[in-house]
Each structure stands twice: as structure tokens, then as C-alpha cells.
């Protein structure tokens, strides 16, 4: 048996709307009490003391309860990432499920959705089950595979949605992420077919004819830097098409990594019309802008590219008003030797798991664009509404910071200021655009089913605990 009392923290539970100073008692896998002042002596400036026996379940002796002082921290549901590239199977020299899970735990995540563009592609149940099982074996986060829309990501034949859905992984989200599904007929069929499983289709929103050789956001900066532009229209045309197709067959569409103000408008209008669409935005699109590219450091190269200040403003507003449902990292590890090339030779993508909360807190919460509860919602219940992630993310009867819920929790210090050191991150790769930057806000503890996967900022691997 394990019993922890998270004492003195501010509980932010978006599912219930609770925002209060509450102590949280975790026994084994579950939260058994959420109440004020369970611990003795936390009322003032004194140390958290042992809990009162009268506040505990009858069978629990106060001496068996480990009190964890979380004053000054927020206690929230574990974060859910809808968009993670874990690179396993196939590119384990950049990341694998072990290192990626560690990065997730360090970032406050308890659930990661692993994108399908591995080698081999996640277009068969056996691959999905491998990814799901490896996540369980590592035990730092739960890994929910995303299935491919088309076999081999080739954009032609559908992957076996039914087999993937029936697998142990229970895949209910499909994406050829990284490669746009350009063929409108295949996209339409995918949306239609997915309705049989109430699954959601996530199409990489990029009209490829408009982005041949594209290197960065098209605009004043690309003109000065002499880099071929990635016009915002390329994203918006694809989103517009997909929204029309999804509406036509009453299917569920998820728009990944929204990056432009125009896309925000399209999604906002579609939601008002009742189209079943959800959307995500990355931390980097909420913070970084294309004027940073003048250093030509490929660590800033990402697809879709970092955009203009106007786009960033629109994305922040859309996140605040719920047009965009959640924050997703698009964590994309790449080997240093691939990133250490000329800009146009380097691959797209940046690390995101371990810096996500810091970026969101620094850029959105401290700037008062988002209140803490809404921001936490976009990291938890928002993503959890897009696909079924079980008891993660604070939604549903088994989720949240609530009595009886599974103890999938993040404890974050919103005032911790730290300088990102890419070499010190848990990812095997080093391509963090925030290296050397100061962020405020950092996860302190993460609990997966009542077990610390991150404790005092240190990832707790299974064997260490055993």
C-alpha cells in the first residue's frame, strides 16, 4: 500500500471547476480525499504535519501516510498530449518510448498520443499494440497510439481502422501526420468510415501544392531572409476542405497544430454551425514568431512554421474562448546531426513535452491571457475530449482531482523560474527551441495511478521504485 497526502496545494480541476486550496490524499491508485486542511499545521507558515486520524479512511493509520508539501504549487489532473512523436519503432536513435515517456513525466503528462509516422508505420494492430504495451512496460505515462489514416502514409488505401480499434490499444484516432492527405476522395472516405467506430480523423492541414520547397512562414521575414515561404493559405485551404467534407458526412475531424489566424476563423465558424470539429495548438505556435528565424538556427524549423505576431494573438484568443480545444506539443525529436545542417536541409520539428507547461505558464497565464483553470483545462480535459484516453485528463467519472478518481495527477510550481538546458532534458534528442531561454513554471511531481513518475523534479523509473 502507498499513501500520500499532497498538502497545501491549490487544486485546479477543470472537470469540476474547482479552484481552491485543498489537500489531496492518494491511497494506492486512487484519490480518496480532497478536502481542506487534511494535514496538520499547513494553515500558517509551519511545516505540513501528519494528517489527523479523523480525516482518514478508517483503515489508514496516520503514520503510514507520507505527507508531501506542495504549498505554492497547483495540483491538477495529469496532462494529456494529443500529438507526440515517440519515434519507436524505427528511429530509436532520436527517441524511444522509454526516453519519450520520461520526457512526458517530467512535463507533467500522464498520457501521450503517439503519432503513426514510425517505421514501420502504425497502420496495423500489431504495431499499435506494441506501442501501447511498451508504454505500459516503461510505466511512466500511458501511451495511446494514433493509427495511420492510410497504409504506409501513402494517401491511397485506408489503414484497417476496425482492427486498430479492436486491438488492445483501442485506437480511435487516425492521422497521417507529417504528410497531408491531399486526395479529397480518400479523405472523405476516411471520415465516413471512421464514423463506424466513432473515431476521429486528424489530417495534417497543408495543401502540398502551395508548400513545395517551403521553409518558413511566408511574409516579410521570409522575403528578407530569402527562404521559400509557407503561406497561411496552404493550411486554411486544407482545413476549409476538411471541414466541408466532415460536415457533409457528419464525421469527427480534429485539426492538428493550428498555426494561422485564418484557420482559427474557419474552425470558429464551423463550430458555430455544429460541425464536429476539435482543434489543437502547440506551445511553440503560442509563443514563437517568424522574426526569430533570422538566426537561421534550424532548431526553429517546424511544420507548420512559426508564424506572425498576429497569428500568435489569434491563437491565444482561440485557446481562451475554446475555439481551440487543447494544447498539443507536436514533440518531434530529431538527431543533432540532422538539425545541425543548413536550414533548408534540416528536418522540421522541435521538442515540446518538458517545456510545455513552462511555455503556457510564461506566455499565457502570467500574461493573463488565460486564467490558470482555463489553461489547465487546455492541457487536460480539452485534449481528453478529442479521443478516449480513459481516466486521464480529468474528464469522466474516473478522472480529475476528485474523490474516487484515478490518481493521475500533475503538481506544478507556477513560480519556479528555470533556464532550459536542452542537454538536461530527458529526450534523447536536443532540438529544443527554448534552450538557454528562461521559463517560469515547471512540473514538480507527476503521479500515474498513484505512483510518482516525477518526484521533486526527478523522473522515477519503475525499477528505482521497486
Partner 1 sequence: MTRPTMGETAPDATATGAPASADPTDPDATTPAAGDRHDVSVDERARAAVDERPRAADDAGHGTVAPLTDLISIEDLDAAQVRHILDTTEQLLPIAQRERNSVPTLRGKVVCNLFMEDSTRTRISFDLAAKRLSAEVINFSGKGSSVSKGESFKDTALTLDAMGVDCVVVRSGSSGAPVQLQGYLDVPILNAGDGWHQHPTQALLDVFTMRRHLGDLDGRHAVIVGDVLHSRVARSEVQALRLLGATVTLVAPPTLLPPEIDGWGVEVADHLDDVLPSADVVYLLRVQRERMHRAFFPSRREYARRWGLDATRLAALKDDAIVMHPGPMNRGVEITGDVADSPRAVITEQVTNGIAVRMACLYLLLAGATAGSAPPAAAGPIDPPADVGPDAEVDR
Residues in the site for partner 1, rule: CB under 8 A?
215, 218-220, 222-229, 295-297, 337, 340-345
**H or E segment and range at residue 377:** helix 372-379
Q: CA distances (Å), 191 to each of 124, 173, 244, 275, 363, in order?
A: 18, 11, 11, 13, 35
From the list 66, 121, 123, 47, the residue with the least C-alpha distance to 89 is 121
State which residue, 63 or 295, has the beta carbon closest to partner 1.
Answer: 295
We find the least distance from the C-beta atom of residue 219 to partner 1, in angstroms, to be 5
We find the least distance from the C-beta atom of residue 241 to partner 1, in angstroms, to be 21
State which residue, 78 or 229, has the beta carbon closest to partner 1.
Answer: 229
State which residue, 38 or 227, has the beta carbon closest to partner 1.
Answer: 227
State which residue, 89 or 231, has the beta carbon closest to partner 1.
Answer: 231
Residue 370 DSSP one-character state: S
Q: By the 8 A CB rule, do 408 and 78 touch?
A: yes
Structure-block grid coordinates of residue 174: 487516425
We find the least distance from the C-beta atom of residue 421 to partner 1, in angstroms, to be 18
State which residue, 244 or 335, has the beta carbon closest to partner 1.
Answer: 335
We find the least distance from the C-beta atom of residue 293 to partner 1, in angstroms, to be 9
Structure-block grid coordinates of residue 190: 476516411
Question: How many residues can be counted in the chain?
Answer: 466
Structure-block grid coordinates of residue 30: 486512487
The SS3 call for residue 173 is strand
Structure-block grid coordinates of residue 261: 489566424
Q: How many CA atoms lie within 13 A of 90 on its CB side?
A: 15
Q: Are strands 3-7 and 23-27 parallel, antiparallel or unpaired?
A: antiparallel
CA 84 to chain centroid: 7
**H or E segment and range at residue 19:** strand 18-21
Measure the CA dihedral 34/39/43/48, to 10°: -130
State which residue, 217 or 440, has the beta carbon closest to partner 1.
Answer: 217
We find the least distance from the C-beta atom of residue 218 to partner 1, in angstroms, to be 6
The SS3 call for residue 274 is coil
We find the least distance from the C-beta atom of residue 387 to partner 1, in angstroms, to be 37
What is the strand order of the sheet 438-448 is part of?
18-21, 10-13, 74-77, 409-419, 438-448, 451-455, 458-459
The Cα 146–Cα 176 span in angstroms is 9
Write the CB contacts of 43 (distance below 8 Å, at least 6 apart in sequence).
Answer: 37
State which residue, 300 or 420, has the beta carbon closest to partner 1.
Answer: 300
Q: Tell me which of 142, 330, 391, 413 is the catalytic residue.
A: 330
From the list 354, 349, 429, 325, the residue with the least C-alpha distance to 140 is 354
We find the least distance from the C-beta atom of residue 301 to partner 1, in angstroms, to be 11
State which residue, 223 or 417, has the beta carbon closest to partner 1.
Answer: 223
Q: Are strands 252-255 and 277-281 parallel, antiparallel or unpaired?
A: parallel
Q: By the 8 A CB rule, do 160 and 149 touch?
A: no
The SS3 call for residue 201 is strand
State which residue, 58 or 342, has the beta carbon closest to partner 1.
Answer: 342
Is residue 330 among the annotated active site residues? Answer: yes
List the catalytic residues.
Answer: 330
Amino acid at each position: 500500500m502507498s499513501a500520500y497526502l499532497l498538502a497545501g496545494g491549490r487544486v485546479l480541476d477543470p472537470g469540476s471547476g474547482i479552484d481552491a486550496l485543498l489537500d489531496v490524499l492518494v491511497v494506492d491508485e486512487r484519490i480518496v480525499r480532497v478536502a481542506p486542511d487534511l494535514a496538520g499545521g499547513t494553515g500558517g507558515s509551519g511545516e505540513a504535519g501528519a494528517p489527523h486520524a479523523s480525516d482518514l479512511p478508517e483503515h489508514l493509520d496516520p503514520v503510514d501516510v507520507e505527507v508531501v508539501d506542495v504549498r505554492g504549487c497547483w495540483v491538477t489532473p495529469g496532462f494529456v498530449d494529443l500529438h507526440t512523436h515517440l519515434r519507436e519503432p524505427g528511429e530509436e536513435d532520436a527517441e524511444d518510448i522509454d526516453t519519450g515517456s520520461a520526457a512526458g513525466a517530467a512535463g507533467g503528462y500522464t498520457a501521450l498520443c503517439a503519432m503513426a509516422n514510425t517505421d514501420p508505420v502504425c497502420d496495423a494492430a500489431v504495431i499499435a499494440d506494441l506501442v501501447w504495451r511498451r508504454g505500459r512496460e516503461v510505466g511512466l505515462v500511458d501511451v495511446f497510439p494514433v493509427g495511420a489514416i492510410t497504409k504506409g502514409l501513402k494517401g491511397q488505401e485506408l489503414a484497417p481502422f476496425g482492427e486498430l480499434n479492436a486491438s488492445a490499444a483501442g485506437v480511435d484516432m487516425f492521422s497521417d501526420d507529417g504528410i497531408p492527405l491531399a486526395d479529397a476522395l480518400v479523405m472523405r472516405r476516411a471520415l465516413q468510415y471512421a464514423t463506424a467506430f466513432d473515431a476521429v480523423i486528424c489530417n495534417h492541414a497543408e495543401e502540398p501544392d502551395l508548400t513545395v520547397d517551403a521553409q518558413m512562414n511566408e511574409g516579410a521575414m521570409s522575403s528578407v531572409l530569402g527562404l521559400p515561404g509557407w503561406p497561411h493559405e496552404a493550411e486554411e485551404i486544407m482545413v476549409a476542405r476538411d471541414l466541408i467534407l466532415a460536415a457533409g458526412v457528419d464525421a469527427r475531424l480534429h485539426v492538428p497544430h493550428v498555426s494561422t489566424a485564418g484557420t482559427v476563423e474557419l474552425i470558429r465558424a464551423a463550430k458555430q454551425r455544429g460541425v464536429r470539429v476539435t482543434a489543437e495548438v502547440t506551445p511553440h505556435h503560442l509563443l514563437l514568431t517568424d522574426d526569430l528565424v533570422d538566426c537561421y538556427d534550424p532548431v526553429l524549423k517546424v511544420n507548420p512554421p512559426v508564424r506572425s505576431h498576429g497569428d500568435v494573438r489569434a491563437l491565444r484568443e482561440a485557446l481562451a474562448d475554446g475555439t481551440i480545444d487543447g494544447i498539443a506539443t507536436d514533440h518531434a525529436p530529431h538527431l543533432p546531426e540532422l538539425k545541425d545542417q543548413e536550414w533548408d536541409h534540416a528536418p522540421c520539428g522541435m521538442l515540446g513535452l518538458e517545456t510545455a507547461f513552462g511555455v503556457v505558464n510564461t506566455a499565457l497565464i502570467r500574461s493573463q491571457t488565460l486564467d490558470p483553470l482555463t489553461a489547465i483545462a487546455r492541457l487536460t480535459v480539452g485534449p481528453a475530449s478529442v479521443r478516449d484516453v480513459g481516466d486521464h485528463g480529468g474528464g469522466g467519472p474516473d478522472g480529475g482531482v476528485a474523490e474516487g478518481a484515478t490518481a493521475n495527477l500533475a503538481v506544478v510550481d507556477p513560480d519556479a523560474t528555470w533556464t532550459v538546458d536542452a542537454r538536461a532534458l530527458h529526450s534523447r534528442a536536443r532540438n529544443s527551441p527554448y534552450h538557454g531561454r528562461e521559463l517560469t513554471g515547471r512540473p514538480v511531481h507527476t503521479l500515474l495511478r498513484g505512483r510518482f513518475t516525477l518526484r521533486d523534479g526527478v523522473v522515477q523509473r519503475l525499477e528505482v521504485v521497486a
